[in-house]
């Protein structure tokens, strides 16, 4: 697996396991003069590494062995048959396995020369991208090779396999990962004005286990190639099963991509009709993920929660456009129409099976802890957990987004409002999770002015977004006052499926 500067100079790709070679277009950035100087330094160091490898190989006792040709061919094949996964953004490759095996089969110079192979994939993208990526691979190979040899790793045969050889291989593997990640992370740090430590943690932490696995596969390939005497046949025994596993993983990834496209189509339809809150759904999805992870939900539930956050307002497709785009304050009748959008949302998505627990979040995200919400007036623990998460995230984004009638509220002010409403409107547990999560990862208010037909300014009315807690207070002021409800805790295991009517 490698981290690589992607086809556009001002873009970067971040690795995603397993054995992922990132494809174009993950983080967009403007490269500063310092970043460009840094890239030039990396290219120069890589050129020195490659030049030294060529000289060392030419002066060796057995220069340019046939095995080098075979390993180069394997590396080229690994790059050629990458399998695309992770929402069509990441390619799975066995290149790092082959490079690590080359350290033990032929030595450091041959492994460094192997760095040219993945770099060739960037030739068509211009000299800078090609040179940077080739140099980065070469530098990683030099450092990994130095660690392998320095720790006593054998070259040309193990002759009495020991744990020392395993440790040497794993050390080389981890150093290759670190060098590869740090070289790219430095570019991100320059461009985004972020601490290198934070970028490295984001880049390397999710891939460490995968790199360890790659090291062990590389070691097994080298042992079978050398000590078992299988030569290139060893690659078939090791790499073919891996590619079958990658292919199976790609099928799952293709299913995920189909899910994403389904959701994107629905959201595009909603935001075409309700221009007023364009981008709101994606921001709510981001906020619910922050809450879910702060609550240590399993990643599978976090992904489903993200779907629910993205689709929570899909029911607006059934709300008249004149109501969604009304310039002034809603009448009671119009607000009753708005209040039907959770039910309409469930009707829209009820046949999309992969949403699973998301259905309850979509249906009940406007319920209140005190029972004065809608559409069913549920209270406390009767409100599904996903709905309690979305309610907090929805209100938070509403308050921290600019509307045509007001500027975005600051993050501290919005969080204080949520805390004030905790126990009556919101689950205190979810509010606390958002506060802690935002303090940990940060949040940028949406300060751009969304397009709204007409100009409500000058009407003399105080206007609110229906997701804003202030608006909720206006429309519940005449309802019976209920006591504050403590945190509902985790959901009950027997929450009914909202798509199935109760008898």
Which regions of 334-408 does DSSP assign to beta strands (E)?
Answer: none
Rounded to 5°, angle at Cα 310 from 280 and 426: 75
Please indicate whether the domains covering 11-252 and 274-476 agree at the CATH topology level: no
pLDDT attached to residue 491: 46
Q: List the beta bridge partners of residue 422.
A: 426
Query: Would you list the domain boundaries of the chain?
Result: 11-252, 274-476
Q: What span, in angstroms and rounded, lies between the C-alpha atoms of 173 and 151?
A: 13
Neighbour tally for 245: CB within 10 Å: 14
Cα 334 vs. chain centroid, distance in angstroms? 39
Q: Which long-range contacts (CB under 8 A, 24 or more apart) does 465-472 make?
A: 465/277, 465/398, 465/403, 466/330, 466/335, 466/338, 467/394, 467/395, 467/397, 467/398, 468/395, 468/398, 468/399, 469/395, 469/399, 469/417, 469/418, 469/421, 469/425, 472/368, 472/373, 472/425
Q: What is the percent of the chain where pLDDT is above 70?
A: 67
Domain 11-252 top-level CATH class: mainly alpha
Q: What is the average pLDDT across 378-391?
A: 92
Q: What per-residue confidence (pLDDT) applies to 291?
A: 94
Q: Which of 235, 212, 246, 219 lies closest to 71, judged by CA?
A: 235
> What are the φ/ψ torsions at residue 402 (nearest 5 degrees)?
-70, 135
426 or 25: whose pLDDT is higher?
426
What was the pLDDT predicted at 41? 94
Contact 187, 39 (CB under 8 A): yes
Residues 469 and 395: their CA atoms lie apart, in Å, by 6
Give the residue from 143, 141, 167, 142 showing the smallest Cα distance to 154.
167
Question: Phi and psi dihedrals of 28, rounded to 5?
Answer: -95, 135
pLDDT tens per residue across span 284-298: 988 999 999 899 898
Which residue bears the tokens 């794993």? Answer: 170
Of residues 183, 182, 174, the one with CA closest to residue 201: 182
**Nearest in space to 362 (alpha carbons), one of 382, 340, 386, 383:** 386
Q: Which residues contact 202 (CB under 8 A, 6 or more apart)?
A: 14
Helix then strand count (H, E) for the chain reads 20, 5
pLDDT tens digits, 311-353: 888 888 877 777 777 766 777 788 788 888 888 888 877 777 6
Contact 391, 430 (CB under 8 A): yes
Q: Provide the pLDDT confidence category of residue 492 given band limits of 50, 70 and 90.
A: very low
> Top-level CATH class of 274-476?
mainly alpha
181-208: per-residue pLDDT in tens?
Answer: 888 888 777 766 667 766 666 556 656 6
Between the alpha carbon of residue 339 and those of residues 135, 345, 466, the distances in Å are 59, 11, 9
pLDDT at 385: 93
Please, which residues bridge with residue 83 across strands?
92
Query: Which is nearest to 499 in space by CA: 336, 356, 305?
Result: 356
Distance CA 496, CA 503 (A): 12
Block residue for tokens 């070691």: 219
- Only one residue has tokens 């330094």, namely 41
Q: What is the pTM of this model?
A: 0.56
Q: What DSSP character marks residue 89?
A: T
Q: Which residues contact 213 (CB under 8 A, 6 or more apart)?
A: 18, 19
pLDDT band at 109 (very low <50, low <70, confident <90, very high): very high
Per-residue H/E/C for 244-256: HHHHHHHHHHHHH
- Distance of alpha carbon 285 from alpha carbon 397, whole angstroms: 10
- Whether the pLDDT of residue 255 is over 90: the answer is no
Helix, strand or coil for residue 90?
Answer: strand
CA pair distance 85, 426, nearest whole angstrom: 38
Tens digits of per-residue pLDDT, 116-173? 887 776 667 678 878 888 898 899 999 999 999 999 888 888 876 688 888 888 899 8
pLDDT tens digits, residue range 318-329? Answer: 777 777 777 667
**Whole-number Cα distances in Å, 261 to 87, 187, 281:** 9, 31, 15
Q: Which pLDDT score is estimated for 164?
A: 85
- pLDDT tens for each residue of 413-470: 999 999 999 999 999 999 999 999 998 878 877 765 544 444 444 444 444 455 566 5
- Token reading at 436: 């802690």
């Amino acid at each position: 697996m490698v981290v690589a500067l992607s086809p556009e100079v001002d873009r970067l790709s971040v690795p995603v396991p397993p054995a992922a070679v990132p494809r174009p277009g993950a983080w967009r950035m403007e490269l500063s003069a310092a970043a460009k100087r840094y890239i030039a330094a990396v290219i120069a160091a890589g050129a020195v590494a490659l030049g030294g490898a060529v000289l060392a190989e030419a002066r060796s006792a057995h220069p340019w062995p046939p095995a080098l040709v075979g390993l180069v061919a394997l590396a080229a094949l690994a790059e050629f048959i990458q399998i695309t996964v992770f929402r069509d953004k990441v390619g799975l490759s066995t290149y790092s396995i082959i490079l690590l095996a080359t350290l033990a089969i032929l030595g450091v110079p041959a492994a460094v020369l192997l760095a040219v192979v993945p770099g060739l994939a960037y030739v068509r993208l211009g000299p800078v991208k090609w040179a940077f990526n080739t140099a980065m691979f070469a530098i990683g190979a030099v450092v990994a090779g130095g660690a392998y040899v320095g720790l006593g790793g054998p070259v040309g045969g193990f002759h009495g396999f020991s744990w020392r050889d395993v440790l040497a291989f794993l050390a080389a593997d981890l150093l290759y990962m670190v060098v590869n990640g740090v070289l790219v992370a430095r570019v991100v740090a320059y461009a985004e004005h972020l601490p290198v430590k934070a970028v490295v943690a984001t880049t390397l932490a999710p891939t460490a286990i995968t790199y360890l696995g790659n090291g062990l596969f590389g070691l097994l390939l080298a042992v079978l190639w050398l000590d078992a005497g299988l030569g290139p046949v060893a690659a078939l025994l090791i790499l073919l099963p891996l590619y079958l596993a990658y292919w199976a993983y790609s099928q799952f990834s293709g299913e995920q991509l189909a899910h994403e496209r389904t959701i994107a189509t629905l959201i595009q339809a909603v935001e075409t009709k309700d221009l007023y809150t364009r981008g709101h759904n994606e921001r709510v999805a981001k906020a619910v993920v922050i809450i879910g992870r702060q609550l240590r939900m399993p990643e599978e539930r976090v992904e489903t929660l993200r779907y629910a956050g993205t689709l929570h307002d899909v029911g607006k497709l059934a709300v008249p456009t004149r109501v969604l785009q009304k310039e002034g304050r809603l009448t009671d009748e119009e607000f009753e129409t708005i209040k039907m959008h959770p039910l309409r949302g469930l009707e829209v998505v009820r046949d999309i099976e992969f949403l699973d627990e998301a259905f309850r979040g979509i249906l009940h995200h406007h319920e209140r802890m005190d029972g004065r919400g809608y559409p069913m007036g549920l209270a406390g623990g009767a409100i599904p957990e996903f709905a309690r998460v979305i309610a907090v995230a929805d209100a938070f984004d509403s308050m921290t987004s600019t509307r045509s009638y007001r500027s975005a509220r600051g993050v501290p002010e919005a969080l204080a409002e949520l805390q004030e409403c905790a126990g009556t409107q919101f689950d205190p547990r979810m509010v606390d999770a958002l506060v802690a999560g935002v303090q940990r990862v940060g949040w940028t208010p949406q300060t751009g002015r969304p397009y709204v037909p007409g100009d409500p300014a000058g009407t003399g009315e105080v206007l609110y977004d229906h997701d804003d807690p202030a608006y909720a207070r206006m429309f519940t002021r005449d309802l019976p006052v209920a006591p504050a409800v403590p945190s509902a805790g985790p959901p009950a295991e027997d929450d009914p499926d909202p798509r199935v009517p109760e008898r």
